[in-house]
């Protein structure tokens, strides 16, 4: 089975992430979305909330792919790949500024475990989009509808109302 992993913090998932996940699901038998657990990084949403948002966003997408699964990962991504039988990492590239770091990581992961990284160009519609920017705009009452799945929009509204 050809399996790929889409790793990230997904705090929260944006339409940019979702676009990459759904496009990857057309190329692989199975796509595992690996939500990273990093105890040193403060997040707005809990791991369960982030996973639930991803599952619901994938389900509500017009393609509604059935070959996407959501899991957690901690430690090295290549260890996750080994345990889960994943051969490829799929990353979205937004701009040249993403490239240096992503290239370095791809080369490290390949030298550690022979895992391949495939870069997918971001849908230009979402090239400016990041989870941190979405959180900042939402925090100050800006409209992020159209940039995040509906379930995330609701989550952000609930969070700022509390």
Are 28 and 106 within 8 A, CB to CB?
A: no
Query: Residue 131 interacts with ligand ADP (CB under 6 A)?
Result: yes
Cα first-last separation, the chain? 44
Parallel, antiparallel, or unpaired for β 116-121 and 68-73? unpaired
Of 25, 73, 91, 131, the catalytic one is 131
Cβ closest to ligand ADP, residue 14 vs residue 30: 14
Q: At what angle do helices 15-25 and 47-60 cross, to 10 degrees?
A: 60
If binding is defined by CB under 6 A, does position 149 make contact with ligand ADP? no
Nearer to ligand ADP, 41 or 158 (CB): 41
The C-alpha atoms of residue 98 and residue 127 are separated, in whole angstroms, by: 11
What is the closest distance, in whole angstroms, from the C-beta atom of residue 113 to ligand ADP in the complex? 18
131 is catalytic: yes
| Residues binding ligand ADP (CB under 6 A) | 8-10, 14, 16-17, 20, 36, 91-92, 94, 122, 126, 129-131
Residues with catalytic roles: 17, 41, 94, 131
């Amino acid at each position: 089975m050809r399996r790929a992993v889409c790793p990230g913090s997904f705090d929260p998932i944006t339409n940019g992430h979702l676009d990459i996940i759904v496009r990857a699901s057309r190329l692989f038998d199975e796509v595992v979305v690996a939500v990273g657990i990093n105890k040193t990084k403060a997040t707005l949403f809990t791991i369960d909330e982030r996973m639930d948002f991803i599952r619901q966003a994938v389900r509500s997408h017009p393609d509604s792919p059935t070959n996407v699964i959501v899991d957690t990962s901690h430690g090295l991504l290549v260890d996750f790949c080994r345990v889960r039988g994943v051969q490829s990492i799929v990353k979205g590239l937004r701009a040249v500024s993403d490239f240096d770091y992503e290239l370095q990581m791809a080369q490290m992961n390949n030298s550690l475990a022979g895992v391949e990284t495939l870069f997918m160009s971001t849908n230009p519609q979402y090239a400016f989009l990041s989870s941190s920017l979405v959180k900042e705009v939402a925090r100050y009452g800006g409209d992020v509808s159209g940039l995040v799945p509906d379930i995330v929009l609701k989550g952000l509204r609930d969070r700022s109302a509390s």
